[in-house]
């Protein structure tokens, strides 16, 4: 898993409120989505989400990370769009 994909996955889990709904949105298995978030947490050394069988909630560290994730992912998406548009204009 690359860092950007982990960020996108984490944000999708928070947005959807569950691993299974995030998996549907991302067209991945719930197990892979869970694995990506667990790998992200392990690399960061902090718990981003509190999980139970009925509830998913974001931790304080998770909220801080999510805020920056949204900013970074948005900037990368904007950059890719700009470069893609430049490439199309050259053709």
pLDDT tens, residue by residue, 7-27: 999 999 999 999 999 999 999
Q: What is the DSSP string of 2-54?
A: -HHHHHHHHHHHHHHTSHHHHHHHHTS-HHHHHHHHHHHHHHHTS--EEE-SS
Reported as a single tens digit per residue, the pLDDT across 50-84 is: 998 888 999 999 999 999 999 999 999 999 988 88
Q: Which residues pair with 57 in a beta bridge?
A: 50
Q: Are 16 and 22 in contact (CB under 8 A)?
A: yes
Q: Are 70 and 59 in contact (CB under 8 A)?
A: no
Confidence of residue 87 (pLDDT cuts 50, 70, 90): low
């Amino acid at each position: 898993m690359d860092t950007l994909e982990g960020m996108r996955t984490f944000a999708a889990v928070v947005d959807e409120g569950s691993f299974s709904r995030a998996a549907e949105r991302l067209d991945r298995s719930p197990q892979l989505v869970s694995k990506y978030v667990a790998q992200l947490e392990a690399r960061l050394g902090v718990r981003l989400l509190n999980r139970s069988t009925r509830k998913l909630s974001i931790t304080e560290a998770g909220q801080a990370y999510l805020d920056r994730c949204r900013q970074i992912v948005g900037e990368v998406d904007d950059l890719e769009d700009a470069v893609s548009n430049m490439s199309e204009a050259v053709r």
